[in-house]
Amino acid sequence: MRHPMIVGLCITGAVALSGCDAVSKKNAVDRKLQDINVVDESNLNNVMLTVSDPNEGVSYFQRALQGKPDKIELQRGLAVSLIRAKRYPEAVSAWTRVTGHEDATDADRVELADAFIRTNAWDRAEETLTAIPPTHETYKRYRLEAMIADSKKDWKKADAFYETALGLTTKPASVMNNWGYSKLTRGDFAGAESLFGQAIRADQSLFTAKNNLVLARGAQGNYTLPVVPMSQIERAQLLHTLGLAALKRGDEQIAKGLFKDALETHPQHFDAAARSLDALESNITN
């Protein structure tokens, strides 16, 4: 008489075990899907940090933060995208929010200092860097320290920071260019010329360093183009810069010739050189 009851209990147990097994499999699948979503989100975040239009990155991270406002990776993504989009006041607010997060790092505080510099808030940038422990030694920190020292015309300290920054990077062209510009503003034209030359040897595509090199040479009365790799358009632009340097030194006839060379060299119409030449000729005529 008990067999039907026992069979019933066995069936009930089997169904329950089957149900537990199904729930367990569902949970496992959900976990796997969640892991995939995390990977996909991380990959998408990285893509949006390098997207050609930085404003698209800004919009993406703003939308993402609506659903996860406290996620520091998304906060960082927004801050970086705002810097890329040259929306510096907004970037200051974004990096301030990041540095207020419990998981913020000293690297985040360095980025905040960088954002302050981009808005010309030099005192706040200095305060931010000063609050970071000296044990946090990175290329970017010392490059910013050098720039702040430059702003205060503390040349000795600036040189020390630039030298330290150089020792902490495998891509020295940018810091050499900055250091060279620092020398240029001090009137050390020969020192600037040397540093710009080193920057170009480190990165032959760095047009800013080429332009600065021409300025340093022109400031010394040297109106010949340096022997560096340059395209035809770059050559025209550098001739124009050299003309401006000659004009600044009062060498008007040399400047006029350089502006004409720039116009003839450029493969298209070179509006900036044409305006400079017109202004110079008008001034000489008057």
Could you please report the per-residue DSSP string of 36-98? HHHHHHHHHHHHHTS-SSHHHHHHHHHHHHHH-TT-HHHHHHHHHHHHHTT-HHHHHHHHHHH
Q: Which residues of the chain have pLDDT under 50?
A: 1-2, 5-18, 20, 23, 25-26, 29-30, 32-39
Q: How many angstroms separate the CA atoms of 12 and 3, rounded?
A: 14
Tokens representing residue 209 in the block = 């360093």
For 204, the token pair is 């032959």
- d(CA 49, CA 109) in angstroms, rounded, equals 19
List, in order, residues 6 or more apart from 8 with CB less than 8 Å away.
none
Q: Three-class SS of residue 224?
A: coil
Q: Are 91 and 82 in contact (CB under 8 A)?
A: yes
**SS3 state at 146:** helix
Architecture of domain 137-224: Alpha Horseshoe (1.25)
Put simply, whether the predicted model's pTM sits higher than 0.75 gets the answer yes
Domain boundaries, the chain: 56-131, 137-224, 231-286
The confidence score (pLDDT) of residue 30 equals 46
Interval 177-235: pLDDT, tens: 999 999 999 999 999 999 999 999 999 999 999 999 999 999 999 999 999 999 999 99
Cβ(57)–Cβ(77) under 8 Å? Answer: yes
pLDDT at site 274? 85
Same fold, 56-131 and 137-224: yes
- 165 to each of 9, 142, 192, how far by Cα in Å? 76, 5, 17
DSSP 228: -
CATH of 56-131, one of 1.25.40.10, 3.40.1160.10, 1.10.357.10, 3.30.70.360: 1.25.40.10
